[in-house]
Structure 1
Amino acid sequence: MKDLLSEIKSCTVCRNHLPLGANPIVSFSEHSKIILLSQAPGRIAHQKSKAWDDPSGRKLREWLGVNDTQFYNPDNFAILPIGFCYPGKAATGDLPPRPECAPLWHDRVLSELKNVKLTLLIGGYSQKYYLKDRMKRNLTETVSNFEDYLPKYFPIPHPSPTNRFWRAKNPWFEELVVQELQEKVKDILKTS
C-alpha cells in the first residue's frame, strides 16, 4: 500500500498539461472506511500539498459532522479525486480534472481498500465517472435521489463556495440529506 501511494505521489504523466506542475494529492490506508471521490485539488491544495484545507473543506467537514483530526486520518477517509493534480483555472472555478488519473490509478487503489463502508461522490465529475448511465438527468436529481445509490455510493454536491447559489436554491440538501450523511458517517466511524 505504501509503495502504491509513493508511486502515485511521484506520478508526472500529465505534467505538461498542468500550469503549476505535477503534485498528486491523495491519501488512503488499507483501513480507510469512507472514500471521498471528488474532482481535483484546487490551487490552495496544490500550494499546501493538502486536500480540503480551504473553505470547501471546512464545509465538507461540516456536512460530514467530523473534526479535522477525524477527517485527515486516512484510516477514516481516503481522499481520491478524479484528477490528482490542480488542473488550472477556468472562467468560473477550476478546469475539469485531467482525464489520465482515474483510469490509470483508481482501480489499483480501490482494489487495495478492503474496509470501505461508503463512497462519497462529491460533485458532478465523480458522479459522471462512477454512476455513468445510472446518474439522473442532472446533479440536483442525482443528489435528491441519493438513496437509489446506497449502500455503495452517496452522491453530494461539491461544497465549494461557488456552489452557494445551488445550496440556496436547494435547501432540502442541508436540511435533510446532510443529516442522513452525518448519521451514516457517525455509524461507520464508531464501529472502528
Structure 2
Amino acid sequence: MATLPLHQIRADYDATTIVVYQAYSPAIADPAVRGQRFVPPFSLNRMTWIKPSFLWMMGRSNWARKPGQERILAVRITREGWETALSQAVLTGFTHGVHSDRAQWERELKTSAVRVQWDPERTLHGGTLDARSIQVGLSRHIIADYVEQWTTEIRDVTPTVHKMADLLKQGRKDRAAEHLPKERPYDLPAEIARRLYRVPAY
C-alpha cells in the first residue's frame, strides 16, 4: 500500500452522496433497513458516530462480531449534509495550528454540534497505519438532520462483511480484497479542512 497522508478523508462517494458506516445491534439495524430511515430504538438524543472508512469499521466491530455491533450498515448521505456537519466540527483534542489557544478550543468544544477525531487507519488484516481515519460525532443538536434530511439509502452489508472475514481466515486475502468498497480521497474546501487538521502552508 502506498504511503497515505496523515490526515485525509478517504470514502466511497459520487457527485452528490457519500457512504458512511455504522455498526448496530439487529434491534436498531433491522427497522432502519426496512424503513430506509433510522427509527426507535435508535435515539435522537445521544451522539452517534459515522465513519467513511470501511476497514476502520471492520477493526472497530471485529468484522461484525462484537456484541451490539453485529450488523454493519452502509449509510449513503448527501455530500451537502456531510460538509455541513464538518463545517461545524470541533476536534476532540486541542491541536496547535488549528486552535489559537486551549481556551478557545474548550469554548468551542462545549458548544459544538459536531465532533471529529482522527484514529489510526486499518489494514485488511486489522493492523494499524500511521495514516488517520476520520470519525464524525453528531450530537443531539444535529442528528435529526442526519436522519431526516441527509440519509438517502441504508444498506445492510453484513453478509459481505462475514464473507470477507471467512476469506481472510482461509488465507485468501486477494479474494477478500475484491469486496472492498472503492474508497478514494475526498477533497474538502480549505475553510472546512482548517477546522479538522493543520493545513500545511505553501
- TM-score relative to the length of structure 2: 0.27
* Bigger helix share: 1
Higher CA-based Rg: 2
- Higher share of residues assigned strand: 2
TM-score (norm 1): 0.28
